[in-house]
Structure 1
Amino acid sequence: MKTLFVSYRVTDLDLSLRFYTALGYVELGRVEAGDGSHLVILNFPGEPAASLELVHRPADGRVDVGSGFDHLAIQVDTLTVTLKTLAEAGLEPEPVQYPGGPHGPKTSWLTDPDGYRIELVEWPSGHPDGITAADFS
């Protein structure tokens, strides 16, 4: 099995698309789902397939993020460059943190228009992409 993508319901599709394209996502395609609803499929350039779906159902009203979802984590090459690019695009990333200490990953947080939290992660030099079993040994 394999995870295909994450899907978020969004309140304002245009506002969310501006946010996620400023973050670096590109639109792969969209589906009109009837009743004014749309599904917009996104990925980062260089990804072989979709990684995020935005679901807009205007008839359902405003999105309530609720207490069950925590966050989406996105790996970046260089956090300082990413934060500068995001700030120039009008987004407001939080200051850099070092949750694993000075030799661990660097992180920063960002919140989308509906309140979904996004963790931006830069791994230390030599660390493989993503979290693996080796991180828990």
Structure 2
Amino acid sequence: MKTLFVSYRVTDLDRSLVFYTAVGYVELGRIEVGDGSRLVILKFPDEPAASLELVHRPSDGPVDVGNGFDHLAIQVETLAATLESLTEAGLGPGPLQYPGGPHGPKTSWLTDPDGYRIELVEWPSGHPDGITAADFT
């Protein structure tokens, strides 16, 4: 088994697409569900398949993210360059942080238009992609 993608319900699909496109996602495809509801499937250019689905159901009203969801984590190659690009796009990322100390990962936080939090992570040189069992030894 493996995780296929994360799905977010969004209040304003166009506003969310502007945000996630500025983060670096590209649109893979759309599905019209009916009643004005749409699904938009996104991925990063270097990913082989979808990693994020935006669900727009206008009849459900505005999104309330206070439902226990905490955050999405996105790995970046160079966090400083990513933060500069996001700032230039007007997305207002948070400051650079070192949660594991000076030799650990670098992180920053970003919030999407509906209030979903996104953690941007740059792993230290030589660290495998993602969190592995080695991170807990």
TM range (shorter): over 0.9
Q: Deviations over 1:93-134 (max 9, x none)?
A: 000010000100000000000000000000001111000000
**Which consecutive unaligned segments of at least 5 residues does structure 1 have?**
none
Counterparts of 2:7 and 2:27, CA distance in 1: 14
**Which residue in 2 is equivalent to 1:5?**
5
Counterparts of 1:71 and 1:116, CA distance in 2: 6
Q: Deviations over 1:55-85 (max 9, x none)?
A: 0000000000014100000000000000001
**Which residue in 2 is equivalent to 1:26?**
26
Counterparts of 2:67 and 2:80, CA distance in 1: 30
**Which residue in 2 is equivalent to 1:39?**
39
Amino acid at match of 1:3: T
| Secondary structure of the structure 2 residue equivalent to 1:32 | strand
Residue 50 of structure 2 is aligned to residue 50 of structure 1: yes
Cα deviation for residue 90 of structure 1 reads 1.1
**Which consecutive unaligned segments of at least 5 residues does structure 2 have?**
none
Residue 101 of structure 2 is aligned to residue 101 of structure 1: yes
TM-score normalised over the length of structure 1 = 0.99
**Which residue in 2 is equivalent to 1:136?**
136
Counterparts of 2:74 and 2:51, CA distance in 1: 11
Identity %: 85
Cα deviation for residue 46 of structure 1 reads 1.1
* Aligned Cα root-mean-square deviation (Å): 0.5
Amino acid at match of 1:63: V
**Which residue in 1 is equivalent to 2:76?**
76
Which of structure 1's runs of 4+ aligned residues deviate more than 6 A? none
Amino acid at match of 1:14: D
TM-score normalised over the length of structure 2 = 0.99
